[in-house]
Amino acid sequence: MEAIKKVTKIDRAVVAKASAHQPIASLRRVAAYARVSTDSDEQFTSFEAQVDYYTRQITANADWALVEVYTDEGISGTNTKKRDGFNRMIADALSGKIDLIITKSISRFARNTVDTLTAVRQLKEKGVEVYFEKENIYTMDSKGELLITIMSSLAQEESRSISENVAWGKRAKCEEGKVYLPYKQFLGYEKGPDGQPQIVEEQAKTVRLIYSLFLEGLMPSGIAKRLEAMGILSPAGKQRWQTSTVESILRNEKYKGDALLQKTFCVDFLTKKMKRNEGELPQYYVEQSHPAIVSPEVFDEVQQELKRRREARYVGRGGCFSSKIVCGECGSYYGRKVWHSNDKYRTVIWRCQHKYENGEPCKTPHVTEDQIKAAFVAEMNRVIANKEQVLSDIGMLIETLTTTHELEDKESAAGMELKDVSASMHKLVDDYARALIEQNVYDDRYAELLAQSRTLEERIAEIGEQREQRKARKRELDSFYKVLKATGPIVEFDEELWNVAVEKIIVQTDGKLQIKNR
C-alpha cells in the first residue's frame, strides 16, 4: 500500500520562537564610493556633498556600521587604473573588510563596462554586495543577475567597438606614414618637440657600436657580454643585456631611418592577443621617415651577414669559433661540446655536427680550443711575415670588388626589359577589356608575359644579391687590411684579430687545420 505524504506548514511565529535563542547578528559593514569628474551633472554636484550624504546615510541606519567613504576627486571614470580610492575599496572588500558598497549609479562606479563587470563579479564571489542607488539594483538579487548578464553583453560589444576604432586609427596613421616608437624601451631615440623621433646621441653611439661589433664578427651573445663589460645599460635601463635585444636592434629597420608599419595586429579583441602580421593585413614601408642612426649601407651589410650566418647554421653559443670550423669530409660545421662538465676534467671540444648522422661517422677528429688558437697564431705570424705582399693582394682585390659597373649595367638592362613587359601586359589587358582579342589568345599571351616578368624579377633580385655580397666581401677585406697593416707578430690568441682575419678553418681527416683568411 502506497504511503500517504504528510506536509506540515511551519508558521512564521514558530520560526521566530525557534530562533529566539540565537545570538543577534553583527552589524553589516557598509562602505560608499563617491566620485566627481568635470562633466558631473548629477544630484550631488560637489565632492564634499557626496561624502557628507553617504556618511549621514550609513550612520543613520542602525543595522549598518560605516567602514569608510572611499573617494576619487576630479578623475575620469573611463577606466579604473588610476582611481586609487576605487582600487583601495575593492582591495579592502576582497580582503573581508566590507559587506556592502553603496554608490550613486553605474556610471559613477565605472563608465567602462568591462571594469564594472570585473569588479562586480569579483565582489560577488566574496559575498560583497553593491547597491546602485539610481538604478535601485542590488547585485545579489535577481535584478542583479540580469544586470550582470546585460553588462556582459555590453562589455563585449564595447570592447569590440573600441578595438575596431583603435585598429582603424592605427591603420589610418600607417597609411599616412606616421611613425610611433616605444621610446621608453627603444634605444637611440626620444620623442621630439614636433612629436617625431629624434636621435639621443649618447644612446646612438651604443647602437652604432653594436652594428660595428657585429660586422667585425662578434655574435649577438658576444656583443651583449661586451656591452655589459663596458657598463652600458640596456634599453630597459638594466645592466644585463639579452641576446634577443641585440638581435632586435640589428634587425630593426628604424635605425636606418625607415619604418615598417603594422608588423603585428590584435587577433582577439577580448583577450587582446597579438600576432605577427604574416600577410593577413597590409603593411606600410615608410622610407626616410625619421633621422637615421646607421647608414642604409651599413644596415644592409648587417642584414646580409645575418642571412649568411643563418644559412651557415650559425651556432649561437660557441663564441667566436661558431660557424667558422668546417668538417673537411662532409662540409658540415663543427659544434661546441663539453666533456666532463661537472668534474675537474672538464674540457671544451669542437666536433662535426653531423658526425654520427649519416650512417658512417666522419673521419675528421674533434679539436680543442687550444689547438684552434695555436693554429691561428702560427698562421697569422706567417701572414704577417709576408705582410707587404698580402696587403698588396688585398688592395687589388678590394679595387676589383669596388667596380660594380658590370652588375649595374645588367640590372639596368633587366629593369628596362621588365618595364617593356609590364607595358605589354597593360596593353594586353586593355585590348581584352575592349574585346579586341579572344579569350584563348589573351590567356596564352598573359601567361607568357607573366612568366617573363617573374624571370626578370628573379634576375634583378639575383643581381642585387650579388652586389650586396660584393659589398659585404669588400667590407671584410677592408677590416682585414686595416688590422693587418697595424699588427705585428703575435704571441697569443687575439679574438678581435680572429674575427676580422679568419673566414673559416677546415679540419682535415688527418687532424691538420687549414686556415682560410679573408
pLDDT (0 to 100) of residue 92: 95
CA distances, 32 to each of 36, 154, 209 (Å):
14, 25, 58
pLDDT (average), residues 115-135: 86
Mean pLDDT (whole number) for 454-465: 87
Torsion of CA 480, 484, 489, 491, to 10 degrees: -30
pLDDT at 485: 81
What is the pLDDT, as a whole number, of residue 271? 53
At 17, the pLDDT band (50, 70, 90 cuts) reads: very low
3 state DSSP class of 39: coil
Domain regions of the chain by residue span: 14-140, 183-257+292-311, 313-402+463-518
pLDDT at position 21:
44
Higher-confidence residue: 317 or 478? 478
**Residues 402-426 pLDDT 10s:** 777 888 888 889 889 999 998 998 8
The string of DSSP codes covering 462-480 is HHHHHHHHHHHHHHHHHHH
Alpha helix (H) ranges present in 6-46?
Answer: 12-18
CATH for 183-257+292-311 is 3.90.1750.20
Segment 391-407 mean pLDDT = 79
Using the predicted structure, report yes or no on whether residue 391 has a pLDDT greater than 90.
Answer: no
Give the model's pLDDT for residue 5. 62
Report the range of poorest mean pLDDT among 8-22, 221-235, 425-439, 473-487: 8-22
Q: What's the mean pLDDT when you consider all of the chain?
A: 79
Q: Read out DSSP for 309-332? A: HHHTT--TTSGGGTTTEEETTT-P
Cell matching residue 192: 621630439
- Amino acid 23: pLDDT: 44
* β pairing state of 197-199 and 325-327: unpaired
pTM score: 0.47
SS3 content of the chain, % helix, strand, coil (to 5): 50, 15, 35
How large a percentage of the chain has pLDDT more than 70?
Answer: 78
- Average pLDDT of the segment spanning 175-202: 81
Average pLDDT over residues 148-161: 65
Task: Tell me what pLDDT residue 158 has.
Answer: 65
Strand order in the sheet with 347-352: 334-339, 347-352, 367-368
Mean pLDDT across the stretch 166-191? 72
| CA contacts within 13 A on the Cβ side of 117 | 17
In the numeric block, the cell 600607417 is attached to 174
- pLDDT digits 0-9 by tens, 332-387: 888 888 887 677 777 888 888 777 666 678 888 888 888 888 888 888 888 888 88
Q: Which band of pLDDT confidence, cut at 50, 70 and 90, is reported for residue 448?
A: very high
- Rounded CA separation 200/16 (Å): 78
- Whether 14-140 and 183-257+292-311 share one fold: the answer is no
Fold of 14-140: Rossmann fold (3.40.50)
pLDDT winner (highest mean) among 85-99, 284-298, 352-366: 85-99
Of residues 508 and 114, more confidence is placed in: 508
Q: Is the pLDDT of residue 110 over 90?
A: no
**What is the DSSP secondary-structure string of 64-105?**
EEEEEEEEEES--SS-STT-HHHHHHHHHHHTTS-SEEEES-
User: Of residues 286 and 271, which shows the higher confidence score?
Assistant: 286
Q: What is the pLDDT of residue 89?
A: 93
Task: List residues bridging with 348 in a β-sheet.
Answer: 338
Q: What is the DSSP string of 376-433?
A: HHHHHHHHHHTHHHHHHHHHHHHHHHH--HHHHHHHHHHHHHHHHHHHHHHHHHHHHH
Where does the pLDDT of residue 153 fall: very low under 50, low under 70, confident under 90, or very high at 90 and above? Answer: low
Q: Determine the average pLDDT of the residues in 115-125.
A: 84
